[in-house]
Amino acid sequence: MASETRRLEAPEKTTGHAMFSGDIRRPGMLIGKILRSPVPHARIKKIGKDRALALPGVYAVITAEDFPDVKTGQAVQDEVVMPRDKVRYIGEPVAAVAAVDEETARQALALIELDLEELPGVFSFEQSVAAGAPLVHEDFAAYKTTMPLKRGGNVCMHATINKGDVEQGFAQSDRIFEDTYTVPVVHHAPLEPRAVVAEVDHTGRLHVLCGTARAFEIRAGVALNVGLPMSHIRVTGTRVGGSFGQKGSSSIEPIAALLALKTRKPVKMELTRKEDFIGSTPRHSMEITIKTGVKNDGTLLARKALIKVDTGAYAYFGPKATSNVAQMISGPYYIPNLFIEGICAYTNKMSCGPCRGPGAPQAHFAAETQLERIARELKIDSFEIRLKNAFKPNDTTATGQVLTDCDYRKILVQLRESVHTHFKDLTATDPEKAFGIGISGGFWGIPGFGSSATLRFNQDGSAILLIGSVEIGTGSDTAMALLVSRELGIALERIRVISGDTDMCPFDYGAIGSRTTQAMGVAVHKAIDGVKNQLLDFAENHLEAPRDILAFDKGRIHVRENEKVGIPITMAINLLTMKKGGPVVATGSNTTPSPPADPRLFDSMVGASSPFHAFGAHAVAVEVDRVTGKVDVLKVIAVHDVGKAVFREGIEGQIQGGVAMGLGYALSEEVVFSDGRPLNDSFLDYRLPTMQDVPRIIPVILEKENPRSPEDILGVGEPTTIPTAAAVANAVYNAVNAQIRQLPMTPERVYWQLPENVL
């Protein structure tokens, strides 16, 4: 059955009928445009609106003074929709207009008088933390935080983990390795730039339609920033042309919403590609130094790490990403002695945010490439050193969380078998090229938080499933419908899913962190159980059979040992709905708590444990051109433990896409800055992998033995990207004996690391 499953939204997407935010049209709709700061750091002296307002066709011009004076933020409440006192990065919104068309809106932006007094800026981590550095936020001490955080000056968070005795661990080690790794800012680069339509209905309620991963979070952000109660706001998640973490929090939505409230007309705001590059919240750049002590037999004893994180102009996700790196810098391996420091600092650059496994690709690039160096210098097989140190059930993470259920060793064994099968005939195709194979593992903490679902049946037995999570391209609508189909024996095509609408659907925390299939799956199962109880209450009376001998199968409720004694579910639902006891409907809710960590081991951490951990490992085969340094990836194997595979085709798609994104991170993607100004703000200069760059990717899906649904479901959205860059780096190391410690691995960087070219 699973092998033939078609995604529910496939017909509308493949025929061009899917409705994205940019497709929406309304009678009398205005176009919204944003005026952005042309400088990275400046005091705002004046923003003159009069000339723009006088332009025919302009309906509204708004600045910070039009918004409530509130600050928001995930860990540090330092964010505003538009700044009142000063701008902190190039591209920061300072004003917005609503006009009859795009050209008029652009003309209006040019008429806004923006008087700025430029200030010295800080554009790197080292500049930011230097003595006497200009402060990005002078009033940082007044900012509230959602948890206790060590901070000061331009440092918005300084976290530590201290487990065991790291100095004693180094003293007991036979060898000590120390390396520094550098990773850049990279964009999510979704095909669809951010877009939103906001409109006010005849009752005065605000309706916001946008491509988002978190409809309820957008509602909360809009409510706070425009000063309306949530009951006055409806958010509808449209189809999403890629999120990858970019579309999880409110951004332009409050601006469009306020313009709609001011004009009482629908307002559409759609970012250009350049705006999407300079105004989004990309992956954090980091410098990671790790020092590891190890026995000659490969046993990891101690690790010390210093993680320097540039979060940009606002803290946003920086503290959480820093905490993630600190927890994952040990890799999916047990290291008894750890001392980890994570320092997150402001700079006058675009604010960085979550991007497909925030912190995890950075941490694993450093940890897994150093582990490869350790294996090579100790003359230990790459698989064996990983198997020797791999997490086992009841091991503890860096923060002391007990891992009750993990089988990373099984993944490594499967990957080794797959390498023997799929890479056995690969070799260099040219005398000037070197061939190499590299492997890497990784793990990811899947968050819990709240999800809810309502399952209701029509009189004809067809079902409507309402879920708050948004279908962001992962196949989550189909996966949830499959749970209903399989549990109740109803054909998939008779189930309609309505998702991501705050008026129609019950709450969901959001399609983030690879949580949806598990967290929402539990809620859906609870709704299914509620429906089952209603149907069984009816069936045991109707069939005169106790409920414990009844089963659901092939659209019927019947006696297990005698299928002839039964009733079609359609008939049971019709009788219940029309005559016997009310409509068949049930709601299920789920909030998965995080297991305890050990608070004695860490300080100033954001999220020290996770309800679930997903593990994976990749193998990559490459050719390296010794003349140019160019790396060509020939084939990738990606093994992931998914617990229970609900929607196998969706999982394979996530693996394919995650690896492709990881290859871009490894080989070509990087935002280049000059004094805070992004220089490559288009697809012409920002190098994404294309179809020609992505090789054959072989997904290998491992399921838990006798998995339970939904308890054993593990998401794969983030884990599939995490090991890729390190695996590519290790393949290059294997091919040409050059260890690359800076991403991306461009031909130039690889060339100058080749042994024959090192001065």
Nearest in space to 678 (alpha carbons), one of 287, 319, 313, 192: 313
Residues 6+ apart with CB under 8 A from 568: 461, 555, 556
How far apart CA 63 and CA 398 sit, in angstroms, is 45
Mean pLDDT of the chain: 95
Q: Report d(CA 203, CA 90) in Å as an integer.
A: 39
Torsion of Cα atoms, 207 then 211 then 215 then 221, to 10°: -70
Contact criterion met (CB below 8 Å) for 47 and 243: no
Lowest mean pLDDT among 85-94, 401-410, 468-477, 578-587: 578-587
Say yes or no to pLDDT of 744 above 60: yes
Q: Which two tokens stand for residue 202?
A: 């005849």
What pLDDT was estimated at residue 759?
64
Query: How many other CB atoms sit within 10 Å of the CB of residue 670?
Result: 20
Give me the pLDDT at residue 348, please.
98
Q: Are 567 and 543 in contact (CB under 8 A)?
A: yes
Strand-pairing partners, residue 34, are: 96
Check pLDDT > 90 for residue 350: yes
Query: Is residue 754 a contact partner of residue 626, using CB atoms and an 8 Å limit?
Result: yes
CA atoms of 238 and 443, how far apart (whole Å): 31
Q: SS in 3 state form for 366-411?
A: HHHHHHHHHHHHCCCCHHHHHHHHECCCCCECCCCCECCCCCHHHH
Q: pLDDT band at 428, cuts 50/70/90?
A: confident
Cβ atoms 522, 589 nearer than 8 A = no
Residue 366 has pLDDT above 70, yes or no: yes
Which pLDDT value is given to residue 52?
Answer: 98
Q: Is the pLDDT of residue 453 over 90?
A: yes
Beta strands in 100-205 (DSSP E): 113-118, 155-163, 175-183, 195-200
Does residue 426 contact residue 435 with C-beta atoms inside 8 Å?
A: yes
| Domains annotated on the chain, with CATH | 10-119+194-270 (3.90.1170.50), 285-447+597-753 (3.30.365.10), 449-592 (3.30.365.10)
Amino acid 295: pLDDT: 98
The answer on pLDDT for 2 being more than 90 is no
Q: Each residue of 593-605: pLDDT tens digit? A: 889 999 999 999 9
For the segment 548-559, the average pLDDT, to the nearest whole number, is 91
Exposure class string for 199-231: b at 16+ Cβ within 10 A, else e: bbeeeeebbbbbbbbbbbbbbbbbbbbbebeee
Q: Find the mean pLDDT for residues 165-190.
A: 97
pLDDT band at residue 429, thresholds of 50, 70 and 90?
confident
CA 612 → CA 634, 643, 646, distances in Å?
33, 11, 17
**Cα-flanking dihedrals φ and ψ of residue 674, to 5°?**
-135, 105
DSSP 413-436: HHHHHHHHHHSTT---SSTTEEEE
Is the bond preceding 336 in cis, omega lying within 30 degrees of 0? no
Across 416-437, average pLDDT: 93
Q: 1 pLDDT band (50/70/90 cuts)?
A: very low
Report, as an integer, the average pLDDT of 373-401: 97
pLDDT tens digits for range 285-337? 999 999 999 999 999 999 999 999 999 999 999 999 999 999 999 999 999 99
Distance separating alpha carbons of residues 124 and 599, to the nearest angstrom: 32
Listed range (270-279, 496-505, 626-635, 706-715) with the worst mean pLDDT: 706-715
CA dist 187 and 277 (Å) reads 7
Extract the runs of DSSP E, i.e. beta strands, from 275-377. 285-294, 300-312, 337-346
